[in-house]
Amino acid sequence: MEKSKIRLSYLLPKNYYSCPYQYVKKKVDLKVTHHFIEIYFHDERIATHKRFPQYKEYAFSTSPEHLPDQFNQLEWNDQQLLNWGLKIDSYTHKVIQRVFENLLLKEQGYQSCLSILNLSKKYSNAALETACQVALEKIGSLSNNVGKE
């Protein structure tokens, strides 16, 4: 078994597999097979997830029952983050929308959105808007070229 320490986000490295929030910052054992990830604390299994394929990185497997009750009463929600993006301008808003598009739980995108939006505190809104425009153009050109080789 591998050893791992649960991060503050109670998700594990490479791909993210949740465990009950009570185990944040605790050392756990991981049993990793071809098909499953099992998480143990003091020889007691506390979570099991179907393992993502090896080629998949930075994917989330989050069980809602692993989240604390107050998780549903977070300081932020997706609409607040979308509104903040819209206040900056349309490209920033679109980037924030894109973050949320493919997530099963919108909470998984909060940190990414906050990281993007907080750039407006370090750089001007115009600079962030330009960066978001360039990012969207790059993403669009990549998806438009898929299968054209």
Q: How far apart are the first and last CA of the chain?
A: 43
Query: What three-state secondary structure class fits 83?
Result: helix
Return mean pLDDT, the chain: 82
Residue 2 sits at φ, ψ, to 5 deg, of: -85, 155
What pLDDT is recorded for position 145? 43
For Cα atoms 31, 34, 37, give the angle at the middle one, nearest 5 degrees.
Answer: 35
What mean pLDDT comes out for the span 52-61?
A: 83
- Give the start-to-end residue ranges of the domains of the chain: 2-67, 74-145
- pLDDT (tens digit per residue) in 90-142: 999 999 999 998 787 888 888 899 999 999 999 999 999 999 999 999 887 54
134 C-beta neighbours (distance < 10 Å), count: 11
pTM score of the predicted model = 0.53
What pLDDT is recorded for position 86? 95
Find all residues with CB under 8 Å of 99, minimum gap 6, and list them: 109, 112, 113, 116
Higher pLDDT, residue 145 or 122: 122
Higher pLDDT, residue 128 or 26: 128
Please report, rounded to a whole number, the percentage of residues in the chain having pLDDT higher than 70. 81
What pLDDT is recorded for position 47? 93
What pLDDT is recorded for position 9? 45
What pLDDT is recorded for position 12? 54
